[in-house]
């Protein structure tokens, strides 16, 4: 009896040790095993819920990276931080070479991936999202237009001439990750429709920023490389019309287009948006065909299954599973698949790296009063804080009064006003535009970045407090 008890204890300890080593557990249902964190990844989220979750996390990462950049730029590692950013990095292939500073590789290269995601989001929104329905789209489009025009006018009124006037587009932009991250903190108090409204507004805002960059921040154009870029774009359109859904040909041609735009004088990151617009939005199989195909494959799967035999040694079973996986990709539009694949590395890697490289501004508290009163600083801060509030709120009020749009379901106009404050968070795109506007004028660029950080901080605080006060717990779409 004692021997049996000892054996039982030994077996129990062995099982516990195995579970500890593998960090896994099993469901009551036989044959399903989960690693410790695996269950959390099996939650089924809608594409919009997944988008909001990632934007919220990205916003938190941006805050962390901005703080780290400020510490680096104002601490004992300031010179090292500056030297690393200005370190030359290049690609040499025979007699051909492409060399830029690390800072330029981040702003011109990595940010092309950010603009690629922006392009995918724009295309999806206009095809099947909130902007696909003219009635639903009217309010966020009007809000975005008002939120771009009025801030630009506010800035230009303060800086009507000289080099400083070039920064008129800086307060036009809204940082979608920061703004949605803050609004998501109020998810229990504000209706989901309000978050949808902010997303649509920010996406139209991004489109406006892309158009401004393309039209107003191109100094000189080299026609030869521009023609090569146009040819690359035409080839991508041919891929689309020809039914090519493999992403590799698109990627290769998009890289060529990026280089051609870089050589042409047009900002190279626009290749990301143009490339995204050519990605197919239709899947190979419609849902009915996919369902039939899956049922046939599952019948083959059941017929090939051999109890007790691992799938690794069952060639037929492996082949069915592989075919099933290919079919899953074929029922998903390439646009949807690429947005899902690239959104995480862009949100969690590209944008935080951009913040780390661009938010590091030396703060001189001795000349703080002079900095705050500088026209560039005032133009950026008032443009983002006051201009966004007046522009978005005023445009929404006008189209609602004219009966051209209606409030999102379950929302009140006072909440739209709160969102207009959050839209004053410029950060990523505002800093990006500032880099273009004040290229070669480090003094003005420093002032603009300082204004962007200050305005974004104030806009986030005031927007959060406003919405917290005017919204009630348990808010729902109804």
| pLDDT at site 40 | 40
User: If we measure between CA atoms, which residue out of 261, 82, 281, 117 comes closest to residue 202?
Assistant: 117
Distance CA 89, CA 86 (A): 9
What backbone phi and psi angles, to 5 degrees, belong to 25?
Answer: -140, 175
Torsion of CA 444, 384, 126, 216, to 10 degrees: -30
Distance CA 452, CA 171 (A): 8
Q: What is the mean pLDDT of residues 384-399?
A: 95
pLDDT at 73 over 90: no
Q: What is the mean pLDDT of residues 228-247?
A: 91
Residue 284 contacts residue 245 (beta carbons within 8 Å): yes
192-216 and 427-437 helices cross at what angle (nearest 10)? 10
User: Which helix (H) or strand (E) is 444 found in, with range?
Assistant: helix 442-470
**Total-model pTM:** 0.71
Domain with CATH 1.20.1530.10 in the chain: 45-89+99-217+267-282+333-470
pLDDT at 35 over 60: no
Class in CATH terms, 45-89+99-217+267-282+333-470: mainly alpha
Residue 411 contacts residue 200 (beta carbons within 8 Å): no
Tell me: the pLDDT tens digits for 133-188? Answer: 787 788 999 999 999 999 999 999 999 998 999 999 999 988 877 787 787 777 77
pLDDT at 55 over 80: no
Beta bridge partners of 90: 99
Lowest-pLDDT range of 9-13, 125-129, 248-252? 9-13
For the stretch 210-214, contacts whose Cβ atoms lie closer than 8 Å and that sit 24 or more positions apart, written own/partner, are 210/115, 210/118, 210/270, 210/273, 212/169, 212/172, 212/433, 213/267, 213/269, 213/270, 213/433, 213/436, 214/266, 214/267, 214/270
Q: What is the mean pLDDT of residues 47-63?
A: 63
């Amino acid at each position: 009896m004692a021997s049996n008890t000892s054996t039982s204890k030994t077996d129990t300890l062995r099982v516990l040790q195995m579970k500890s080593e593998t960090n896994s557990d099993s469901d009551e249902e036989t044959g399903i095993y989960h690693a410790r964190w695996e269950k959390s990844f099996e939650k089924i989220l809608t594409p919009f819920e997944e988008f909001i979750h990632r934007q919220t996390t990205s916003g938190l990462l941006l805050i962390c990276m901005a703080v780290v950049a400020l510490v680096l730029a104002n601490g004992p590692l300031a010179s090292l931080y500056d030297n690393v950013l200005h370190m030359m990095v290049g690609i040499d292939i025979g007699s051909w070479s492409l060399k830029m500073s690390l800072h330029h590789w981040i702003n011109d290269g990595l940010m092309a991936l950010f603009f690629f995601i922006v392009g995918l989001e724009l295309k999806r929104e206009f095809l099947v999202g909130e902007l696909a329905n003219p009635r639903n789209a009217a309010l966020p489009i009007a809000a975005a237009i008002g939120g771009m025009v009025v801030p630009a006018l506010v800035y230009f009124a303060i800086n009507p001439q000289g080099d400083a006037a070039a920064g008129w587009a800086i307060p036009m932009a809204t940082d979608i990750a920061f703004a949605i991250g803050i609004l998501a903190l109020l998810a229990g108090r504000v209706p989901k429709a309000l978050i949808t409204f902010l997303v649509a507004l920010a996406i139209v805002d991004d489109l406006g920023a892309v158009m401004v960059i393309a039209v107003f921040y191109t100094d000189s154009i080299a026609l030869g490389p521009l023609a090569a870029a146009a040819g690359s774009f035409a080839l991508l359109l041919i891929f689309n019309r020809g039914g090519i859904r493999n992403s590799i040909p698109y990627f290769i041609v998009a890289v060529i287009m990026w280089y051609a735009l870089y050589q042409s004088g047009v900002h190279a990151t626009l290749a990301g948006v143009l490339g995204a617009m050519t990605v197919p939005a239709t899947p190979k199989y419609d849902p009915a065909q996919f369902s039939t195909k899956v049922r046939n494959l599952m019948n083959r799967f059941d017929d090939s299954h051999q109890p007790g035999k691992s799938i690794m040694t069952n060639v037929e079973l492996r082949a069915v599973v592989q075919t099933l996986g290919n079919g899953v990709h074929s029922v998903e539009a390439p646009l949807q698949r690429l947005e899902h694949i690239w959104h995480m590395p862009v949100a969690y890697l590209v944008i935080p790296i951009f913040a780390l490289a661009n938010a590091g501004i030396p703060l001189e508290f001795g000349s703080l009063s002079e900095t705050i009163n500088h026209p560039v600083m005032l133009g950026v801060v008032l443009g983002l804080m006051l201009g966004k509030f007046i522009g978005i709120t005023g445009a929404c009020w006008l189209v609602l009064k004219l009966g051209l749009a209606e409030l999102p379901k379950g929302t009140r106009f006072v909440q739209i006003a709160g969102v207009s404050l959050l839209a004053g968070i410029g950060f990523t795109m505002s800093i990006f535009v500032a880099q273009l506007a004040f290229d070669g004028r480090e003094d003005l660029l420093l002032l603009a970045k300082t204004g962007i950080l200050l305005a974004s901080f104030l806009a986030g605080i005031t927007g959060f407090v406003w919405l917290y006060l005017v919204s009630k717990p348990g808010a729902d779409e109804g």
